[in-house]
Structure 1
Amino acid sequence: MNLISELSVVATVSAFWLVAMIVPGLDFLLVTRLAVMRGKAAALRATFGVAVGVGIWGLAGFFGVRTLFIAAPWLYMLLKIVGGLYLFLTGFRLFMSSWQKKTAQSGHTELVSGTTRAFRAGLLTNLANPKAPVFVSGLFAAALPQHASVQLGLTCVAAMFVIAMAWFALVATLLSLESVSRIFMSFQKWIDRCAGLAFMALGLRFVTERSPG
């Protein structure tokens, strides 16, 4: 492939991935909540975690994880069950904590611990979604030529990483503004409850689904 063709492939992958990032999902929900409740620093750390997860799934997708799932369906089922349980437990803890009264001291402790754990939360939330490798594999199968070079594949993965970082960093910056967070803080309990229910619902869906699609 010549340079123009490779750039066209990267642009196609980037365009589809940008749309995938903009559509609200669990990553968006996590970064949004952290930006509003914990501030810009925590949200940006979670953003980096999400982007690292994107990079991992991008590499897995390029090197044929879908083929592996077809050859060993139990691996896909294991990923769905483990990921689903993680999401359900995360949502359950979030939902239950929304009913508890928080003192100023406990709020400060939660803020500190939430900031230090934000990267891990972003990474695990992204990796816990078993649909991600299937989507990425499908995207690469459609956009990349049959014998794409490793260099081209890595360039596409790098573009996906940058797009995830840029989009969620923008979300984190805008929603951490005091004027915006002040509004959201007045609905903190309901935001936590809705976020918790969303995580639990998707977690249950992953655990109970049995098709590898």
Structure 2
Amino acid sequence: MYISLFLTLGAMHLVALASPGPDFALILRSCHHRARALGAAIGISLAILLHATFSLTGISLLIAGAPLLFTLVRVVGALYLGWLGYGALRAARSRQSGFSAQEGAQGSLLLGLRQGVATNLLNPKALLFFVGLLAAMVTPEVGTGVRLLLALELFALSLVWFGLLAWSLSTARAQRLLARAQRPLNLVTGLLFMVVSGSILLETALPLAA
């Protein structure tokens, strides 16, 4: 009965996953250390599971409907993404090749996990995406059990996608290719974080200034 719902939702989620964004940029920035990259993949997937669960239970809708709370979420998320962007741009300006010594010392799965959760969970655009997508596709008639399975589907697809991405980018061959363009990659990922951060802050400030 719900096969079409699972297939459609899964296909739309895969399209969203394949689109460049802060999650992809984080994997790219972390791939110098496989453990850290895999940790980031797990963290992003866990955050997506939380977003899906919150959206399917109405919690995200309550957050989005509370102006002060949602503004706080947007500002905190934008500042965090901006901080990640600043770190990437600083690395791009560094005279040292590759990743910084500090990043090398922090190549742990736990660090990647924390960054993955924070990058996705604090991104208000992700919150709005799941609220809009799930509200449009999951009707009130859909039971709790099916909603749980839908959330698990999104988690599983995210984990497979970002896990494969983290693993493939952290191979020796991929690292040799990426090492030749380390500064441009840091520049691109830094600018991506900064653009997303700036757009969130601008979208937040415009209604307040009106």
Q: TM-score, normalized by length of structure 1?
A: 0.87
Q: Do the aligned partners of 1:58 and 1:160 also contact (CA within 8 Å) in 2?
A: yes
Q: Who is 1:57 aligned against?
A: 51
Give the conservation status (yes or no) of the 8 Å contact 1:60–1:133: no
**Which residue among 74, 82, 85 is the counterpart of 1:91?**
85
How far is the alpha carbon of 1:140 from its aligned partner?
1.4
- Give 1:168's aligned residue: 162
Secondary structure class of the residue paired with 1:148:
coil
Question: Which residue in 1 is equivalent to 2:119?
Answer: 125
Identity across the alignment (%): 30
- Aligned mates of 1:63, 1:73 — CA distance in 2: 19
Which residue is equivalent to 1:23?
Answer: 19
| Mapped pair 1:182 → 2:190 | no
Specify the SS of the correspondent of 1:209.
helix
Match of 1:157 among 148, 151, 164: 151
Q: TM-score, normalised by structure 2?
A: 0.88
Say which is worse superposed, 94-103 or 145-154, in terms of deviation.
94-103
Distance 2:131 2:65 in 1: 15
- In 1, distance between residues paired with 2:103 and 2:194? 21
**Residue equivalent to 1:112:** 105
Quick check: 1:26–1:125 contact (8 Å CA) kept in 2?
yes
* Structure-1 residue corresponding to 2:131: 137
Moved beyond 4 Å, runs of 4+: none
Distance 1:179 1:71 in 2: 47
| Correspondences of 1:37-48 after superposition (within 5 Å) | 38-48=32-42
Distance in 2, Cα, partners of 1:99 & 1:71: 41
What amino acid is aligned across from residue 184 of structure 1 in structure 2?
L
Q: Cα deviation per residue 1:52-94 (whole Å; 9 max; x = unaligned)?
A: 1101101111112453145412221111111001111111122
In structure 2, list runs of 5 or more residues that go unmatched. none
Q: Which runs of no fewer than 5 residues in structure 1 stay unpaired?
A: none
Q: Which residue of 1 is the match for residue 8 of structure 2?
A: 12
Cα distance in 2, alignment partners of residues 180 and 130 from structure 1: 32
Paired residue secondary structure (1:24): coil
Q: How many Å separate the matches in 2 of 1:51 and 1:14?
A: 14
Give the counterpart of 1:200 among 179, 194, 200: 194
Q: Deviations over 1:128-157 (max 9, x none)?
A: 210112211221122212222111111000
Moved more, 48-57 or 15-24: 15-24
1:111 aligned partner, one-letter code: G
- In the TM superposition, what is the alpha-carbon distance from 1:21 to its structure 2 partner? 0.7
Contact 1:31 1:46 in 2 (8 A): yes
